[in-house]
Amino acid sequence: MEDLLVIGAGIFGLTLARKLQRAGHRVTVVEAGAVGAGASATPLGVLAPHAPDTWNPKKEAQFRALVSLPDYLAELEDETGIATGYARCGRLIPLTTENQRSVWERRIADAALNWQGKAMLERVERPDPAWLSAQAAPFGAMLCGLSAKIDARGYLAALAASVGEAVRTGLVLERLEQGVAIFATGERIMARRIVLATGAAAFAHLPHSDSGEPAGRGEKGQAAVLAVSGDVGARPIIFHDGTYVVPRGETMVAVGATSERHFERAETTDALLDEKIARGKALCPALADARVVERWAAARPRAADRGLLVGPHPVLHGVSIATGGFKTGLAMAHMLDIGSVS
């Protein structure tokens, strides 16, 4: 019998496996595809705070996650020698109406208070039109100094290296019973505790609520990577109306993401991504002649209340759940508490 079995080698499963190992547990991680086969390998890698006004415990928790992540990553990089590409690059939010400008200007004071001197929110009267189109920002832009980016694939590779031999790939979970995971090959793995970290697929193993609602669902997202001419490495992220433009390295830019509630296949891309790329190009003139080098899609794990779903399985003794990162899993994963799953 295994001590702890973690199912799913995304950001949640690998982070928990590493923490559990460090706490002295013997951990095995099993994964249907390869490490990072799910939503965690997003090319966007945005780490952005909620708006700093109407502060609440959820915003405070995300703020604490964002400000503690650099030290956590530095330690992971020291241990593994693998770069995670973290950079506090900032995020430009174009202002398209006068009302929007006054709302955001009021938030400058909220940021000064709630971000506790760790970062600032500033107004930029005239953003560089070579990066943020002047037409897209008729009232200037806000620069969110707390926003950062990460190379999600590097982050996953570093976690996998840290976890080491414990990861077994090619095992597809079919069903769970008390203390046993049963895989498509027929293999049964017994464990003192099983942690279900299969992202959007985890909800299928959870009962519906009393009112018949599922515990969560997958929400598909598509994103692309474009090669640009010229060095964009020092540019900030741009975010407008659901569209992100994220410099990746010196000559790559990621654009995304779509949000699709209804879909047949999570991993295919289509015309919705082309529309998203067009929106990215309208925001950012540097993308005008850019060439698409990658099209990517996956299902985000969206819990019914959009929060994290971490804790004991409501029915199966010896099984825990760790999912629900939705759009912020990369920023939040390192804050997961192993006490709630072990």
Ligand X SMILES: Cc1cc2nc3c(=O)[nH]c(=O)nc-3n(C[C@H](O)[C@H](O)[C@H](O)COP(=O)(O)OP(=O)(O)OC[C@H]3O[C@@H](n4cnc5c(N)ncnc54)[C@H](O)[C@@H]3O)c2cc1C
Least Å from the CB of residue 52 to ligand X: 18
**Residue 218, interface with ligand X (CB under 6 A)?**
no
Least Å from the CB of residue 208 to ligand X: 19
Q: Supply φ then ψ for residue 274, to 5 degrees.
A: -60, -40
Beta bridge partners of 202: none
What character string, x for contact with ligand X (CB under 6 A) and - otherwise, covers 6-45? -xxxxxxx-----------------xxx---xxxx-x-xx
**Residue 206, interface with ligand X (CB under 6 A)?**
no
Least Å from the CB of residue 36 to ligand X: 6
Per CB under 6 A, which of residues 84..123 are in contact with ligand X?
none
Q: Quick count: other Cβ atoms within 10 Å of Cβ 217?
A: 17
In terms of C-beta distances under 8 Å and separation of at least 24 residues, what long-range contacts does 228-235 make, across chains too?
228/252, 228/253, 228/286, 228/287, 228/290, 229/289, 230/286, 232/131, 232/286, 234/89, 235/89, 235/131, 235/286
Considering beta carbons, is residue 94 or 325 the nearer one to ligand X? 325
Find the binder of ligand X among 63, 155, 239, 326 (CB under 6 A).
326
Per CB under 6 A, which of residues 273..312 are in contact with ligand X?
298, 300-301
What character string, x for contact with ligand X (CB under 6 A) and - otherwise, covers 243-272? -------------xx---------------
Considering beta carbons, is residue 133 or 222 the nearer one to ligand X? 222
Considering beta carbons, is residue 185 or 229 the nearer one to ligand X? 185
Per CB under 6 A, which of residues 186..205 are in contact with ligand X?
197-199, 201
Residues at the contact surface with ligand X, assessed by CB under 6 A = 7-13, 31-33, 37-40, 42, 44-46, 172-173, 197-199, 201, 221-223, 256-257, 298, 300-301, 323, 325-331
